[in-house]
Amino acid sequence: MSYFRTFTRLTAPALASLGLAFTLTTLPGCGSRSGTDTENPATVADTTKPAVIDTVKLKMEAMRRDSLKADSIAKKNGQLPGAILPGHRIVAFYGNIRSKGMGILGREPKEQMFRKFEGVLKEWQAADPSIPVQAALHNVTITAQGTPGKDGKWRLMNSKATIEEVLSWAKEHNCILFLDVQPGHSTLQAELPKLEQYLKDPIVHLGIDPEFSLSTMPGVRPNQKIGTLDAKDVNFTVNFLARIVSENKLPPKVLTVHRFTRKMISNYKNIKLDPRVQIVMHMDGHGEPTLKKDSYKAYIQAEPVQYTGFKLFYEYDARPKPHHIMTPKEVLAELTPKPLYIQYQ
């Protein structure tokens, strides 16, 4: 689709009918945050003639003002209305409802899984009564594959029926839902638009997994090497979500970014924050407690972005004995900062 700059002669009443207020004043530069404009007499037009309006420029200015408004609100209390973090701790069950091998979400029958989940939520609430727990399902929705597929991108998206079913599970049990993306040899730029229709739902959030992002590694199959994403990919994702939030008047989205090696995220200092998107850097490694804590310190605590997450593995963390799955009290006592996103696989 191509876009062309269009010019339309619109009178002030016509602009008002479109819900647009237009005054002939100088517009602040892109870096301005003053929120005020100073009238420039040299720009005042002959009021007997309709003004020539650059409609594309108007739309761009409206989007910019929306972003500045979000910034100003966030500066007052650190977050936008409806933000989940930092006022809650998200506790999520991860996997794919069509797979027994990807995680607890899908490994057990639905009702049995939710009974287990209810117990876990109570454990976390008891471990830290000062912050309410927000239940979440984290469904791998675009999954890296062991075969290239027709287009050679080594990934497969869940069917519409599967996505709608897991969304119905979330709503039935008062959970939020994360749709997780493993892009394979595709890119986030190509894959994320496929999920936009679902992300318009206020309870739907997003996860991205650098481990299975291999577009910079030609010929490498998923699981052969650990993939990577750059700050520019994270920033693309943030901008993508921020636009959806603004266009649909939604509360902020939460974005989880999986990480358990330094190379999984490059140039982390260049990641740009936006109050419409809350970024969780999520320690996604398995192993015995000391290894997990060291990874959290090295890749999450030492390279901070915004909020932090921590994953616990039912199948792998307790092997071999006497290793064990860390308890909520251990996680909260032994990790700094205390993670606000907890995921069980």
pLDDT in tens, 270-302: 999 999 999 999 999 998 999 999 999 999 999
**Which pLDDT score, from 0 to 100, does residue 10 have?**
34
**Which pLDDT score, from 0 to 100, does residue 125 have?**
98
pTM of the model: 0.79
CATH topology of domain 86-286+295-344: TIM Barrel (3.20.20)
The helix (run of H) or strand (run of E) holding residue 144 is strand 133-144
Q: pLDDT at residue 35 above 70?
A: no
Q: pLDDT at residue 40 above 70?
A: no
For residues 155 and 145, the answer to whether their CB atoms sit within 8 Å is: yes
**Which pLDDT score, from 0 to 100, does residue 12 have?**
36
Spatial distance between the Cα atoms of 46 and 38, rounded to a whole number of angstroms: 19
Q: How confident is the model at residue 314 (pLDDT cuts 50, 70, 90)?
A: very high
Mean of the per-residue pLDDT values of the chain: 84
**Which pLDDT score, from 0 to 100, does residue 93 have?**
98
For residue 132, say if its preceding peptide bond is cis, omega within 30 degrees of 0.
Answer: no
Percent of the chain with pLDDT over 70: 79
CA Rg, the chain, in Å? 23
Q: How confident is the model at residue 77 (pLDDT cuts 50, 70, 90)?
A: low
Q: Cβ atoms within 10 A of the Cβ of 299, count? A: 21
Nearest to 282 by CA among 319, 307, 254: 307
**Which pLDDT score, from 0 to 100, does residue 46 have?**
45
Q: How confident is the model at residue 58 (pLDDT cuts 50, 70, 90)?
A: low
**Which pLDDT score, from 0 to 100, does residue 321 have?**
83
Spatial distance between the Cα atoms of 255 and 229, rounded to a whole number of angstroms: 14
